[in-house]
Amino acid sequence: MAERPRLLQRGRLSRLSPRRWPVRWRLAGVSAGLTLVILVAFALVVGRLATDRVRDDFRQDMVSVANQIRNNVALRRAPFEGVSNSDLATQAITGDAAIRIVDAQGTPASQTNDAPDLGPPGPLGEVTEVGRFDVVSLPLSISLSTALPPNAPTYIQYARSRDALEATLNKLWLFLALGVVGGTIMAALAGVAVAGRAMRPISSLTAVARQIATTRDPSLRIPMPESDDEVAELATTLEQMLRELDAARSETQQMIQAQRDFVADASHELRTPLTSILANLELLEASLAARDADPDEEEIVAGALGSSRRMRRLVSDLLLLARADAGRAGPRRSCDLSEIAAAAVSEVRPVTTDHGLELDASASVMVEGNPDDLHRLVLNLVENGVHHTPAGTTVTVSVTRRGDDAVVEVSDDGPGLPEGIGDQIFSRFVRGNGPADKAGDVGTGLGLAIVQAVTASHGGRVETGRSADGGARFTVVLPLGEPAQALSPIL
């Protein structure tokens, strides 16, 4: 059970993999990624250079201002006269600047208000960091404070807070970061737009290919791009392929149609000699019976007569299917489906002594169709129920009206359809091999194929299922009125 969540998580991650993205998104992703790398590198270089330049300018400015303050202080006061805090405050250029006059140990003799403790003087003329302040220490040639001994070394310390500098640098990095993000987003959008425009001819090709796959019509034209590029070459190749497939399809259809016409014509031509053979064999059988001929001769004639009758039935079935495949239409008229079902049951009843036949077709149900083909449909279903069910089984035929459809249902109380036969039951030359099939039954395997062909030619459908008694059930649904024209009728 713990393996299943891991497999599901792995499946989600695989769907999020860039390899599974659409091509346009991958192109946009590559464009945005390259732009991001370039902009990040550019921002790092520019940001570092700008930061170093601003810091250097800030420190050079501090050294320059410190020298100016030292000179101003030395010029305004005579030697050994004190320098007040207000005098130092007037020398501060900015509000965050602090000035101190100290000895070598950092003891202040005079300083601006709120000046921090900057400690002893650092390297003279250089900028040092003391807490959040940058400090420049310069020597004074004479003592300017009475608080210090004469001739004692005196220093002036000029300090400025780095807060404003850091705020400026932070803004600089923020602007660079926003530029990187904005540039990446713009590159992604531009990549999507360019990829979409580049993939538009591919989308057109895909739409036409999907339409061809849906309609199975290779005669459709492939849209040719205006530009002469790889997409145009692909479109040209697909167009040539479709033209060749269309030509091959036409040749195949012509060949198949010729074969269907040949089978239909051959089947029709075979009926005449078979009819003559059957007539002669029947006369010969009657003659032998009249003159009390040898039993072996009668057995030979009876066998030949039975084989001829089966051949006539097979030829008739093949003729019906061949004409259906060839699309040869026959005359149709309005006919009563209930009367057709009653006639089919009446035809089977005399030769069926070990099965019960029931008919439920009291109401008239009118359809447009070929009466002979519809009779063959019901007859095949009834014979199928009789042949593939054990003795004592009852086959029920019902004809009803259901909305705008006429429904013919043939069911039995036998063992039902064989397991695994599925839709193959309507295929040609498929014979049942269930437990109820009679030994030695040599059907042609075309009965249910004819049922499906006749149903389709009349614009209907046939369904299989299990009856209320557990046996097989065949349901034929035909439209009332004019049948569908999409399917060819059968002669």
DSSP assignment of 85-121, as one string? HHHHHTT-SSTTEEEEEE-TT--EEEE-TT-----S-
Helix, strand, coil shares, percent, the chain, to 5? 55, 15, 30
> Is there a single domain that holds both residue 109 and residue 143?
yes
In a domain, 46, yes or no: no
On the question of pLDDT at 90 being above 60, the answer is: no
Q: For residue 354, give the CATH number of its domain.
A: 3.30.565.10
How does pLDDT run across 55-82, given as a tens digit for each residue?
A: 899 889 888 888 888 887 766 554 434 4
| Contact between 140 and 155 (Cβ < 8 Å) | yes
What is the arithmetic mean of pLDDT over 106-128? 83
194-203, 273-282, 311-320, 365-374: which is most confident: 365-374
| Mean pLDDT (whole number) for 239-265 | 77
d(C-alpha 10, C-alpha 7), whole Å:
5
Q: Which two tokens stand for residue 138?
A: 């310069």
Enter the pTM of the model: 0.48
CA distances from 95 to 90, 126, 161 (A): 10, 22, 10
Residue 219: per-residue pLDDT: 74
Instruction: Measure the CA–CA gap between 201 and 98, rounded to whole angstroms.
Output: 71
Question: Between 163-215 and 230-290, two packed helices, what is the crossing angle to 10 degrees?
Answer: 30
Which of 24-33, 70-79, 222-231, 248-257 is least confident?
70-79
Q: What is the mean pLDDT of residues 205-232?
A: 78
What is the number of other CB atoms lying within 10 angstroms of the CB of residue 178?
Answer: 11
User: Three-state SS for 353?
Assistant: coil
Give the Cα separation of 265 and 322 in Å (integer): 9
Residue 267 lies in a domain: yes
Q: In whole angstroms, give the CA distance from residue 291 to residue 271.
A: 30
Q: Is 79 exposed, middle or buried (0-12, 13-18, 19+ CB in 10 A)?
A: exposed
Cβ neighbours for 176, distance < 8 A, ≥ 6 positions apart: 43, 46, 47
Together in a domain, 335 and 460: yes
Does a structural domain hold residue 28?
no
Establish if 194 belongs to a structural domain.
no
Number of domains in the chain: 3
Can you give the pLDDT at residue 46?
92
Look up the domain containing 407 and give its range.
330-479
Question: Are 239 and 112 in a shared domain?
Answer: no
pLDDT score of 396 more than 80: yes
User: Does a structural domain hold residue 149?
Assistant: yes
Both tokens assigned to 422: 């599925």
Residue 488's pLDDT band (cuts 50, 70, 90): very low
Per-residue pLDDT band at 170 (split at 50, 70, 90): very high
Residue pair 379/370 in contact by the 8 Å Cβ criterion: no
pLDDT for position 391 = 85
- By C-alpha distance, which of 263, 269, 260 is closest to 326? 260
Asked whether residue 474 is domain-assigned, the answer is: yes
**How many CB atoms neighbour CB 14 within 10 A?**
10
Domain membership flag for residue 123: yes
264 or 204, higher pLDDT:
204
Question: In whole angstroms, what is the distance from residue 476 CA to residue 452 CA?
Answer: 9
Q: Chain-centre distance of CA 294, in angstroms?
A: 76
The reply to whether 447 falls in a domain is yes
Between vectors from CA 42 to CA 41 and to CA 44, what angle results, nearest 5°?
A: 65
Report the C-alpha gap between 98 and 119 in whole angstroms. Answer: 13
Long-range contacts, stretch 256-262, CB < 8 angstroms, 24+ apart: 257/326, 260/322, 260/325, 260/326, 261/326
Q: Residue 1 — pLDDT band, cuts 50, 70, 90?
A: very low
Structure-block tokens of residue 172: 């600089």
pLDDT tens by residue, 324-378 = 766 665 678 888 999 999 998 898 888 888 888 989 888 888 998 888 888 888 9
Residues 468, 340 share a domain: yes
